[in-house]
Structure 1
Amino acid sequence: MYSILVVEDHREISNIVLKYLENEGYQGTLAENGIEALEYFNGNTFHLVLLDIMMPGVDGFQVLSEIRKISDIPVIMLTAKQEEVDKLRGFDQGADDYVIKPFSPRELMRRIKALLKRTYPSHDAQILSYGNLELDLKSMKLFKDQHEIMVTTAEFLLIKTFIIHQEQVLSREQIMALAFGEAYDGYDRNIDSYVKRLRQKIEDDPKEPMFIHTKYGIGYVFGGKK
């Protein structure tokens, strides 16, 4: 099941969108402001974000900017504005699509379906595995010994990168580019924090890791011998 974060401060609109998402078989989560949206995003795994631009406090452009620092998740912007400059600004910041209010919920569902299909093609391998770890790319879930381990979007992207590039020594800069894209402008030491949290979740003994090994002065290597 695809999980979608809906960021919309007008309850009438969000109720309609959530109902249509449910009817389409998606799991919708509502955030009613920018701060709440970032809290949900950093603590959960989502496949797509519907993001309203005009919100009090932290607006949609600011939320999009923060999301793009750690993730290339597909984002559809919702806006009542039709000025070309707003669209260009959103696309420049990494938005994947725009829907102008008032919109047809059916059209929105078609756009969501098309974007999900492009982002998560069914003909690609759906499971990555290493030892007793399995990563389901479609559901964005991580399993160890067939038991689900809850991970954030950033942690999911990190473990995916490690498994794909297993037994390769990667610098922090390489990890940032591979996991989060060249446009990621976070600090390389952010990777250390992500690795620490991931070790707490997947290692039997985080102090004696079996999966993620530190290469002092260089970066990290996943799997193989120390």
Structure 2
Amino acid sequence: MIIAIDGPAASGKGTLARKLAARFGLPHLDTGLLYRATARALLDADQPLDNAAAAVAAARGLALTEFEEQRLRGREMGEAASVVAAIPAVRETLVEAQRRFARRIGGAVLDGRDIGTVICPEADAKIFVTASPQMRAQRRALELARSGEDVSFNEVLADILRRDERDSSRAVAPLRAAPDAALLDTTALDIAGAFTAALALVEAARARLHATD
């Protein structure tokens, strides 16, 4: 079973993907980390984030599951990843690696912004997770505060809106819900409530699959 979880920044898609992977005993790939790791490699090499050739070389050198996540989190890396992800050649470089992960025996759970539309359009269950920009900014601001970053709500909201615009308007694999994706708005839901809703959507998808077997 392949489960595709898409959505904008701080919608809760990563948390839901991890919990669904644990529930069904499936491997999980946070595809956003691929772009964060690519951006991190460029920053470490003092290369500009829009250097397409350097970004492609960095993407080709990634190992899908060996990330120093602590160095890839935070406001700076989220913004940098969004810049790198808009480079068509970088996305092309990483597509096949993500598809290979999804084709693992037994399936996988992948979360990102183009899983249901580009990476795994054949996914058995597709969920597009969203929430209001204000709620997403509130969640991200709290997350950053817990990690020691001193940033205001208004700054985080501006970052969220800027990333939404960049991710939705890029030429290749823009952020959008697949036509057959189930929409899950987490604005008014806590983690437990969002997981219950997501699990119900996956179970419904599984039931439809079994009905056609």
TM (norm. structure 1) is 0.32
TM (norm. structure 2) is 0.34
Greater helix content: 2
Greater strand content: 1
Larger Rg belongs to: 1
